């Protein structure tokens, strides 16, 4: 990925000095990415069922809460759409504004998911969308981060642990695999950790629930399967 200059003697117009891009296409790509991030499958699916996703479960408009409130089908649809919108946003950014566009569109689509203007800035925690966006930026980096998240989830049986672990290790992965993206990656990681602050407190208190897919079902005589 080409280096990106922010600021400098010429101010923001220097952004594309190293990429030869057009600042207006860069701005357009960010707007499109942010609006794509506003697409909330969990909110739409819940509304179709007469449910306000923000008032059910954890109140979060993301995959985990969609799974908890509406079941596996809704959870899968939410996950797929959230990932795809991240990838599409980054690809559009690359087509319109090159490497500078795709890098900043990762952050734009992520922010659109976390703070959607169409839903009064009440969105999800952005993990799936961030993964989709990183998949468009650097597939190997995204898949390595996903592997770490999956391992953490399988060990802890808690999605929050996977998300938190992924956020903590991602800047180090970016440092070695996509150095120019490091500072944006740090911002993503910080936002994800802040959005998981309630989960972190519950984990410290030993009150964070296990994901429903890991819960053992009880038989009619009260025994666990």
The C-alpha atoms of residue 191 and residue 208 are separated, in whole angstroms, by 20
The C-alpha atoms of residue 114 and residue 60 are separated, in whole angstroms, by 10
pLDDT surpasses 50 at 49 = yes
| pLDDT, greater one: 82 or 14 | 82
Contact 79, 124 (CB under 8 A): no
pLDDT surpasses 60 at 3 = no
pTM of the model: 0.84
pLDDT surpasses 60 at 2 = no
pLDDT surpasses 80 at 7 = no
* pLDDT confidence bin for 210, thresholds 50/70/90: confident
pLDDT, mean of residues 62-82:
90
Say what the pLDDT of residue 19 is. 45
Minimal CA–CA distance to 189: which of 140, 102, 126? 126
Minimal CA–CA distance to 72: which of 61, 62, 64? 64
Average pLDDT, the chain: 87
Give 7's DSSP letter. Answer: S
Strand partners, 224: 218
Torsion angles phi and psi, residue 9, rounded to 5: -60, -35
Say what the pLDDT of residue 214 is. 63
Q: Which of 36-40, 47-51, 146-150, 181-185 has the lowest mean pLDDT?
A: 47-51
* Three-state DSSP class for residue 206: coil
- Which regions of the chain does DSSP assign to beta strands (E)? none
């Amino acid at each position: 990925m080409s280096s990106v200059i922010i600021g400098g003697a010429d101010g923001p117009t220097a952004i594309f000095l190293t990429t030869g891009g057009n600042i207006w296409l860069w701005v357009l790509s960010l707007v499109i990415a942010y609006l794509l991030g506003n697409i909330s499958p969990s909110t739409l699916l819940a509304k179709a069922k007469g449910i306000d996703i923000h008032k059910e479960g954890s109140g979060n408009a993301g995959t985990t809460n969609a799974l908890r409130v509406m079941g596996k089908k809704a959870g899968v649809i939410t996950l797929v759409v959230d990932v795809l919108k991240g990838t599409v946003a980054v690809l559009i950014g690359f087509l319109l504004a090159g490497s500078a566009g795709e890098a900043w569109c990762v952050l734009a689509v992520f922010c659109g998911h976390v703070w959607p203007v169409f839903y009064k800035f009440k969105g999800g925690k952005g993990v799936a969308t961030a993964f989709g966006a990183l998949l468009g930026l650097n597939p190997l980096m995204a898949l390595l981060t996903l592997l770490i998240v999956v391992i953490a989830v399988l060990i802890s049986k808690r999605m929050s642990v996977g998300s938190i672990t992924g956020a903590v290790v991602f800047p180090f992965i970016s440092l070695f695999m996509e150095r120019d993206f490091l500072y944006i990656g740090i911002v993503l990681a910080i936002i994800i950790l802040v959005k998981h602050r309630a989960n972190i407190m519950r984990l410290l208190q030993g009150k964070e629930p296990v994901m429903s897919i890991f819960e053992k079902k009880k038989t009619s005589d009260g025994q666990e399967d």
